[in-house]
Chain A
Amino acid sequence: MDVNPVILKFVYAATVVSVIMGLCSYAVLAERKISSWIQGRVGPNRTSLPLIGGIPLIGKFLTRLGIYQPVPDGLKFLFKEDVVPAHVNKFYFIMAPVIALVPALTTVVVVPFGRFVTEAGEVIPLVLANVNVGLLFLFAISSLGVYGVVLAGWSSNSKYPFLGGIRASAQMISYELAMGVSVLPILIWVNAPGREGTLNLFDIAQAQSGFWFAMWMPVSAIIFLVCLFAETNRLPFDMAESETELVSGFHTEYSSFKFGLFFVGEYAHMVVGSCVFTLLFLGGWNPMPFVTLEALGFGEGILGAILSVGIFSGKMCGMMFFFMWIRWTLPRFRYDQVMKLGWKILLPLSIANLVVYTIFIFYLDTKL
């Protein structure tokens, strides 16, 4: 391996990480704005930069939108007092946010965000690591995210964080099951006879040039979506920090950017989750069901690649909006309801769904 490709890999990684971080900070802004619109408020509209804010019309408009808000939000985290209380286990108290953030940022490597068609007609995914165990890799790495939560709760050495950490981790592992089973019908369908075995998200997205899987397998899509909410600890499943009973859950004792890392990690999970749902069920970069970019004549070259990335990001942002919309629409479940939903409703439902598609695909492949 030369030196150059290594540097190039670092550049790619840096680019992707900074894009994700940027997305996260603007997702926070979007969350604040959307919550304010839903509640009939204005939301952040004061922060402005000295020069750009002075431009007539545009400057005012951008200030109203709160475009600059993420900057002071970040700086505020940076300049807050970094409290490490005396009763905590120092090493794990500091390690926990890192352990929470690293898996969240690592899952991005297998998520393709577009495709590029070469002159020869070869379709290349725009992805950091094009590995054929992609989806399983994603599940594996995101299952490591539990440790950040557990360790934060345990090392805080305090009652509320401890309960929050244990609850959140039990919830996360419970929903992993239904999530795993719900994607199996898709994998059956994608692994058509004769082709190389694949769990790659890129191949799954490319397989949706006709029906999108959300239409083909709606039950899978719904189960996966619900599990996604539970895995990212978003309302109505935010047992980790149900503030009416556990103050703020596993990060009660955290402050400054240590808390900030948990926060960023949560939004990174949300970004990756939206990407994965788009790839699995919403057709990836296909503009419409039965209409591919190639069919519209934008298939090849840089233009096609940019369009595919654009369409994919558009769908992803739509999913992010959906996440926020749900947050301000539904009330929180009780903990026993959450566990009941995961184990007694979603898991049996996903198995039933799998059996139905198993028999259905068997019928399709033998009779047709």
Chain B
Amino acid sequence: MTDVFFYIFATAALAGALGVVFSRNTVSGAMCLIGTFLSMASLFVLLEAYFLAVIQVLVYAGAVMVLFLFIIMLLDVKETAAKKASIYTWAASLIGFGILITGVFAISAAVSIKNKAPTMPEASGTSLKAFGYELFTTYLLPMQVTGFLLLIAMIGVIVLSKKVNTE
């Protein structure tokens, strides 16, 4: 049963991602991205990482995308006309596609993943407290550093939005 839902949500996530790339209307692109995030969250739920799923919705679908939409509306981006692709675009897409194919083959051929999969430890996300324990013991330093990173980002917001007073 979970497998069926996995395929449904995986397809939805991929379809949304393709929609982001191909839609001419920027708002449609943003909405497709929200769809992808929600499908990703559903996939997290299927993996029993409930906390991660909820945070995915809260941060990406609920906060980051609001900013995206604001920017799209602030800049008043209109529908872009179809552009003729240059030789570089073709080359880049070809290389990207090649890397994708190689990656898929490499993963599906890798013996170690297939062997290890059943013996993987249970996802630590099932117990909500596990996150807290790890975050405040093993990963305490990275967490505090993240706090400082966010502080720097706040300074960045001011720098970006305020005019520099040269007088």
Q: Chain A interface (Cβ within 8 Å of chain B)? A: 1, 92, 131-133, 136-137, 139-141, 143-144, 146-147, 150-151, 154, 162, 166, 169, 173, 191, 196-199
Contact = CB atoms under 8 A, between A and B. Distances in A.
Given A144-B61, A198-B128, 14 more contacts: A1-B1, A133-B51, A136-B55, A140-B54, A140-B61, A143-B63, A146-B62, A146-B66, A147-B31, A151-B27, A151-B31, A173-B66, A191-B129, A197-B127
Nearest to A139: B58
User: Which secondary structure dominates chain A's binding surface?
Assistant: helix
B55 to A, nearest CB: 8
A184 to B, nearest CB: 13
Contact of A137 (B54, B63, B66, B128): B54
Contacts of A150: 66, 69, 73
Contact of B50 (A92, A132, A147, A191): A132
A269 to B, nearest CB: 15
A134 to B, nearest CB: 10
B66 A154 contact: no
Contacts of B61: 140, 143-144
Nearest to B62: A143
B97 interface: no
Interface of B: 1, 27, 31, 34, 50-51, 54-55, 57-58, 61-63, 65-66, 69-70, 73, 127-129, 132
B128 A199 contact: yes
A274 to B, nearest CB: 22
Contacts of B55: 136, 140
B63 A173 contact: yes
A130 to B, nearest CB: 12
B51 A144 contact: no
Contacts of A197: 127-129, 132
Contacts of B129: 191, 196-197
B135 to A, nearest CB: 12
